[in-house]
A and B are shown apart, each in its own frame.
Chain A
């Protein structure tokens, strides 16, 4: 059946600040050492007062601008009231009717890889995170435990329009979001540590005979701790909702058709209904009298624009147009983060884009992984690699020799020998890697080798293909800088005469 899946995501992202949102306690993931990052403010002690972290607000602005949101020139902070032990004030400082940003978007590829889905961003707002409750899972009803290290750390809430149409799009939305946020340096988006969290709202629009459609009850899915789990949970929900609709016919808004919350069980790969809230929530938002409004000027926005790097999507497109990369290669580079993309760009500028992409995505990434280093710590700096590649594209050395130089440089680095462009020349000279480009010289060597190995030459002429290997080997030994493929072609030509 041809139903439409309708998904909206609510993403929570922790900001990379040094201190918490309203106090000077460290903003640091520290689950093994509970309740050591607190003070009267984040403990919600009577009499304590919040003061807004400037950096947190700036990072939030940066995010919203990267998502192409409109920025409010006036924004305020509201209290959202609910009781939970990890929320010591019994209200969360958040933003209600005047969030600092609204109406942005993020583009993701559709499932066929061809189209682009523009997913609207309703709003991004800034709020404080809660602490963490640890529940007794033994079933013996032991006390729950509360750790307030995380309480009061800065958190952005990013709410998408229900524009996402498949679980795959939801995954790519989150991947793209994560890439964007790490790219501009506002968050590390580590889902294991909870710095990126996602809840999903999903229902189906099922066509009816009259050409319209009915909507299934909206389900909010929670507890998905990886991007892959979001996709799996949405796939599961799609099937489950359709089956349930076929069995019950219950539509959104019918009795029993209200929004429900389901949790995702990643071990069993199923969603389960979380015990329905016995009461409707009433958060009683009102402006926090302890905080004053914030205004934003055009100059501030310009300054942030000025210090924000090129975003992944336009950069990916530019890599394709400027350096002739395939979309795949461009994505591999961009997805590794801005440092690798910068590295690539330096390499490509001094040589050839495609060559640079091959080397960066294969040789460089492989060696980085083996050495367990970041691109910033990688011994062969981009100007050096660029110089190697330039020699290859200029046919000064062969690709094979290029790889030999690359490996030699890494060996030098491992032996603490300083690496420079000069060092490349030395290696080429020492190892006789200079390409033999004068065709005459090579022809002479080939003739000599054939003469010296008459038997092998005859074998080849008589159809014994393998015999050529020995001839190629001998030519290559005579002439190190030669390209094996070219040598082979010339030998075949010569022997076919």
Chain B
């Protein structure tokens, strides 16, 4: 069931990951990820019928907090690490409808 990882698939994944890859990187990743996928295909030999996926390392439920307000950060602190602001807002290049 191992899949053939194509360059196009790697480009598609890079697009979803918001990574800009050079052609050379596409080559490298196609080959390296291909090897990794080949390796992880070992899992296909495990019978997991009826096995509940384990998304958490500890089984805990119902961790809820009370609806109480605490002080927020001052605006200066909220914006302090931002690459670009006008002192009130975070600023980003004009957003296209499709982005």
A: residues with CB less than 8 A from B are 17-19, 24-26, 34-40, 43, 45, 51-57, 83-85, 133-136, 141-148, 274-279, 282, 284, 286-287, 289, 291-295
Q: Is B44 among interface residues, defined by CB-CB distance under 8 A?
A: no
**Number of residue pairs spanning A and B whose beta carbons lie under 8 angstroms apart:** 125
Q: Is B56 among interface residues, defined by CB-CB distance under 8 A?
A: yes
Q: Which residues of A contact B84 (CB under 8 A)?
A: 143
| Interface segment out of the listed B1-9, B24-32, B35-43, B58-66 | B58-66
Q: Which residues of A contact B67 (CB under 8 A)?
A: 17-19, 53-56
> Which residues of B63-99 have CB atoms within 8 Å of chain A's CB atoms?
63-70, 72-75, 78-79, 81, 84, 86, 88-99
Say yes or no: A275 contacts B69, CB within 8 Å.
no
The size bracket of the interface on B is 35 or more
Say yes or no: A145 contacts B91, CB within 8 Å.
yes
With contact pairs A135-B94, A289-B56 given, residues A36 and B69 touching in the complex (Cβ less than 8 Å): no
Residue of B whose beta carbon sits closest to that of A15:
B67
Q: Which residues of B contact A141 (CB under 8 A)?
A: 94
With contact pairs A19-B68, A38-B78, A143-B84 given, residues A293 and B61 touching in the complex (Cβ less than 8 Å): yes
Q: Which residues of A contact B81 (CB under 8 A)?
A: 45
Say yes or no: B63 contacts A133, CB within 8 Å.
no
Q: Is B55 among interface residues, defined by CB-CB distance under 8 A?
A: yes
Residue of A whose beta carbon sits closest to that of B97:
A275
Shortest CB-to-CB span from A197 to chain B, Å, is 18
Q: Offer 17 A-B interface pairs, CB within 8 angstroms, sorted by A.
A: A25-B70, A34-B89, A35-B75, A39-B72, A54-B65, A54-B66, A83-B99, A84-B99, A142-B94, A145-B91, A145-B92, A146-B90, A275-B97, A278-B98, A291-B63, A292-B62, A293-B61
Which of A18, A43, A282, A286: most chain B Cβ within 10 A?
A43
CA distance in complex: A84, B86 (Å): 19
Q: Which residues of B contact A56 (CB under 8 A)?
A: 67
Residue of B whose beta carbon sits closest to that of A297:
B62
Shortest CB-to-CB span from B92 to chain A, Å, is 5
Say yes or no: A144 contacts B68, CB within 8 Å.
no
Of B16, B55, B72, the residue contacting A282 (CB under 8 A) is: B16
Q: Is B18 among interface residues, defined by CB-CB distance under 8 A?
A: yes
Say yes or no: B70 contacts A284, CB within 8 Å.
no
- Contacts A55-B67, A57-B64 given; 12 further ones with Cβ under 8 A? A19-B68, A26-B72, A34-B89, A39-B73, A51-B64, A54-B64, A141-B94, A144-B95, A145-B89, A292-B63, A294-B64, A295-B62
